[in-house]
Structure 1
Amino acid sequence: MDMSIPLVAEQRAAFRRGAVPAPRQVTDGVWSIPVPLTGSPLVSMTMYLVETAEGLVLIDAGYDDGPAWRALLAGLEAAGAAPSEVRTAVLTHNHPDHIGLADRLRREGGTAIAVHPLDCFAAQRSVRGGFLDQLERSLRIAGVPEAETEAMMRSARRVARHDESLVPDLLVTEGELPGGAGLEVLHTPGHTYGHVSLLDRGRRLLFTGDLVMPSGDTQLAPVSLEEDDPFRDLSASLRRIGDLAVDLVLPGHQYPIEDHARRTREAEAARGERLAEVERAARSAGTAWEVAALLTWPRPWADMRTTAKRFAVVQTLGHLRALQRGGSVPGSAHEASS
């Protein structure tokens, strides 16, 4: 079965015009269910419903709001399913646009929620704190001035769409998904420390959450602990999936990727160029905040809004941490004291 037409063409066209695609069958036993992300520049995210020998598995769960819930119900109906038939919801990572409806599915249909231990909120809090704690620590490590840090934290609090209280039923790391025969869990960190992808070897499909998109760079997890190195984590994850024998990669945003080996090579080449740019800028700057101001962004640094600068400085810090770990750049030249 040719999975690329019209699925890829339709979703690519919807992405380019800023629209939410309709639900569509990917192949026998697999449905794509895009849902709106109200108020987000990402516009939509895509859940995937997968039929397994042990029942239906939903990969990711959108925002916790009415439009996303209605879109999920419409997608399930198109696939001939109901919420009560979803046996397991696997969350590729713990960001609000991927976990929002999981608890509602559990309450209304008995769905079991699965997540990697490092993205389980209770475990995460015990090791590194909640998202806002991690972000504030990261901004301070990056040397962001106090007034800018306060503005970035206010902005982050406004968009924090969940209270990090979700308790999973299953913790998954590597290997076959419990209750999802035929789906294999792969730990693919970088975007978050507990990010996972799901491999369907029989159908030659790979579900990648936010690991890689058809275009653009992957946002790195915040650097908030001494051992954190999300840039190198992401590089290892991209190499891992690039070597897999699959016909289609199904990400959480944008549209499916047909030649994933080429796309992962492109992504790594672009990241290498960015790392080199960061290293050059670091020769004349002290902190990640100062380095970020010297880099090339879609908009000039002076014209960027607070949220855009927050993403930029977190990304820059991730690159600098990789350089520090690799020995290319003295750590003391680039990180403020934590």
Structure 2
Amino acid sequence: MTTDSAPRRDPGVSTAYAVSPDSGEHWTAEGAWRVADGIFRIPLPLPMDGLRAINVYVIETDDGLTLVDGGWAIPVARELLERCLKDVGYGFGDLRRFLVTHVHRDHFTMATVLGHELGIDVALGADEKPALDLLNNIEDLTRNPFVDVLVSAGAREVAAQWVRMDEHREAPDMSVWAYPDTWLEGDHEIPVGRRTLDAVHTPGHTPGHFVFAEREAGLLFAGDHVLPTITPSIGFTMPAAEQPLGDFMASLTKVRGLPDLTILPAHGPVAPSSHARVDELLEHHERRLADSLALMGAATVTAHDVAQGLGWTRHETPFGELDVFSQGMAAMETKAHLELLVARGQAAREETPEGVLFRAQEA
């Protein structure tokens, strides 16, 4: 329900080979890498094939440490975080606050576990509360909430396979989904020692996503909103958002209005220009919208139909060669693109028992 693994199609440099300038090594290399005065980047491992690590950022203050994101609450990540902090003279006792960019488990769960264990503040976007409400009332769910989204995308067989996968999945550990101490609402300033971070609400990847900009130092703690080598998944949220791609592109435009900042991403290497990367991401999705519209042609189609005609990952992998989880992600992401075409007046939609049907509108 809260993973960042998704099929991606992005012409940028491959994440698999990306070297980060702060370390001079592959961006996942173990260590506490100094990205700026008083700021370290610590890559922590993830238990998935699609994404190998998440960058947690450590900000020094006279009173202790503020961390941007926390990592996935697994023992190997916790042990590595503690070891890397020790290497630069700190320990868990020096932690004072977590600023979490969004609710996905690789960002939130270690933060909430350590935050509640150590009695320190954990801050998260207020629009992530509906997702946490679902997770904290999971016994009331009769089935995976993404099944309905997949059915609406016309991916009924994929939905059935997701249900079968759930039958073999262990119940989630609810201790990692405790509510935060502070809800972030609207754009506002956050003092972090002598620094001032602009907390900027950037819905799209998730409804409550935030980035944190330090204008004076020229830095953008970008979470999953602006990633240097991949595009974040869109449409994979619960409860489902009405226009996740529209929200994401509007948030990109919002960040484009900030000064040009060095990107400190959650996944991938430190990158030099938020403006350049935002422009690439917007162009990528405009191409994807055009491709989706062209594939609709004069037919009435589902998102699943269109997804099967698109290439996925940077290798343009055919839909049929994706694993079943990635096929579901692809269908949901394609539906987000078709819904934006409807909002732009380029397509029409009709809800049916077989899913939402789309058709192109005449220009």
TM-score by length of 2: 0.80
Which amino acid in 1 is paired with 2:340? Answer: A
Distance 1:123 1:166, change over 3 A: closer
Q: Which moved more, 1:73-82 or 1:38-47?
A: 73-82
CA contact 1:120–1:168 (8 Å) conserved in 2: no
Match of 1:206 among 206, 220, 236: 220
Which amino acid in 2 is paired with 1:137? Answer: D
CA contact 1:217–1:267 (8 Å) conserved in 2: yes
Which amino acid in 2 is paired with 1:150? Answer: A
* Aligned equivalent of 1:168: 180
* Aligned equivalent of 1:314: 332
Alignment partner of 1:271 is 2:285: yes
Distance 1:226 1:29, change over 3 A: closer
Match of 2:231 among 205, 217, 234: 217
Which amino acid in 1 is paired with 2:120? Answer: T
SS of 1:331's partner is: strand
SS of 1:88's partner is: strand
Structure 2 matches for 1:90-105, cutoff 5 A? 90-105=99-114
Give the gaps of 5 or more residues in structure 2. Answer: 1-18, 358-363
Following TM superposition, by how much is the alpha carbon of 1:86 offset from its aligned partner in structure 2, in angstroms? Answer: 1.4
Alignment partner of 1:143 is 2:154: yes
Which amino acid in 2 is paired with 1:208? Answer: A
* Aligned equivalent of 1:287: 302
Taking only aligned residues, the RMSD between alpha carbons, in angstroms, comes to 3.0
Match of 2:44 among 35, 52, 72: 35
Alignment partner of 1:152 is 2:166: no
User: Which whole-Å CA distance do the structure 2 matches of 1:190 and 1:116 have between them?
Assistant: 13
Which amino acid in 2 is paired with 1:135? Answer: F
* Aligned equivalent of 2:4: none
Alignment partner of 1:234 is 2:248: yes
SS of 1:20's partner is: coil
Which amino acid in 2 is paired with 1:177? Answer: I
User: Which whole-Å CA distance do the structure 1 matches of 2:103 and 2:237 have between them?
Assistant: 16
User: Which whole-Å CA distance do the structure 2 matches of 1:32 and 1:119 have between them?
Assistant: 25
Alignment partner of 1:301 is 2:313: no
User: Which whole-Å CA distance do the structure 2 matches of 1:156 and 1:254 have between them?
Assistant: 30
User: Which whole-Å CA distance do the structure 2 matches of 1:179 and 1:120 have between them?
Assistant: 24
Distance 1:154 1:201, change over 3 A: farther
SS of 2:331's partner is: helix
CA contact 1:12–1:255 (8 Å) conserved in 2: no
User: Which whole-Å CA distance do the structure 2 matches of 1:191 and 1:11 have between them?
Assistant: 28
Distance 1:226 1:61, change over 3 A: closer
Which protein has greater RCO, CA pairs closer than 8 Å, 6+ apart?
Answer: 2
Structure with the higher fraction of residues in strand conformation: 2
Which amino acid in 1 is paired with 2:113? Answer: R
Q: Which moved more, 1:218-227 or 1:181-190?
A: 218-227
SS of 1:332's partner is: strand
Distance 1:226 1:152, change over 3 A: closer
Following TM superposition, by how much is the alpha carbon of 1:53 offset from its aligned partner in structure 2, in angstroms? Answer: 6.3
**Identity across matched positions, percent:** 27
User: Which whole-Å CA distance do the structure 2 matches of 1:263 and 1:208 have between them?
Assistant: 11
Distance 1:67 1:187, change over 3 A: same
Distance 1:227 1:41, change over 3 A: closer
Q: Which moved more, 1:154-163 or 1:27-36?
A: 154-163
User: Which whole-Å CA distance do the structure 1 matches of 2:117 and 2:294 have between them?
Assistant: 54
Distance 1:159 1:10, change over 3 A: farther
CA contact 1:11–1:255 (8 Å) conserved in 2: no
SS of 2:55's partner is: strand
Which amino acid in 1 is paired with 2:279? Answer: R
User: Which whole-Å CA distance do the structure 2 matches of 1:237 and 1:314 have between them?
Assistant: 20
CA contact 2:236–2:329 (8 Å) conserved in 1: no
User: Which whole-Å CA distance do the structure 1 matches of 2:57 and 2:318 have between them?
Assistant: 37
| Number of residue pairs the alignment of both structures matches | 326
Deviation per residue, 1:58-88 (Å, 9 max, x gap): 1111111111001111222233222122111
Following TM superposition, by how much is the alpha carbon of 1:232 offset from its aligned partner in structure 2, in angstroms? Answer: 0.9
User: Which whole-Å CA distance do the structure 1 matches of 2:201 and 2:145 have between them?
Assistant: 21
Structure with the higher fraction of residues in helix conformation: 1
